[in-house]
Structure 1
Amino acid sequence: MAFDTKLMEILACPVCKGKLDYDKAAQELICHFDRLAYSIEKDIPVLLENEAREINANQSTEQDG
């Protein structure tokens, strides 16, 4: 079973409530506004701020939604 991209319609960043982008290669959900990457573990998004990875402004992410 893979991450269901239909969830992207209802998921939001837990910090700013903004849009998340799906990075299929890294298996992460990205909030560009807060520069946070939330991991997807066993097809379940881990939307916890303290578990998120900070991303640099210059760091590029491939988006595949």
Structure 2
Amino acid sequence: MAISKELLSILACPKCKGDIYLKEDEGSIVCDSCRLVYPIRDDIPVMLIDEAEEFQEEKG
């Protein structure tokens, strides 16, 4: 079961309280403002700052 659009609409980044979106592979949730990627485990978003990873902008 994928993350529902309804759930995504109420979720916010726990660090900046900004908008998040589902990454294309649907395996993580991204906050562009904080440059953090939050994992999704067993169809449950892990919205903990300590569990997030920073991402780098792809060059090319």
Aligned-pair identity (%): 41
Q: How far, CA to CA, are the matches of 2:2 and 2:51 in structure 1?
A: 21
> What's the CA shift for 1:8?
1.0
Greater relative contact order (CA < 8 Å, ≥ 6 in sequence): 1
User: In the comparison of the two structures, how many residue pairs are matched?
Assistant: 59
Normalized against structure 2, the TM-score is what?
A: 0.87
Structure 2 partner of 1:13: 13
Which contiguous aligned blocks of 4+ residues in structure 1 show a shift greater than 2 angstroms? Answer: none
SS of match in other structure, 1:13: coil
Q: 5+ residue gaps in structure 2?
A: none
Structure 1 partner of 2:58: 59
Q: CA RMSD in A?
A: 1.6
> What's the CA shift for 1:59?
2.9
Q: 5+ residue gaps in structure 1?
A: 61-65
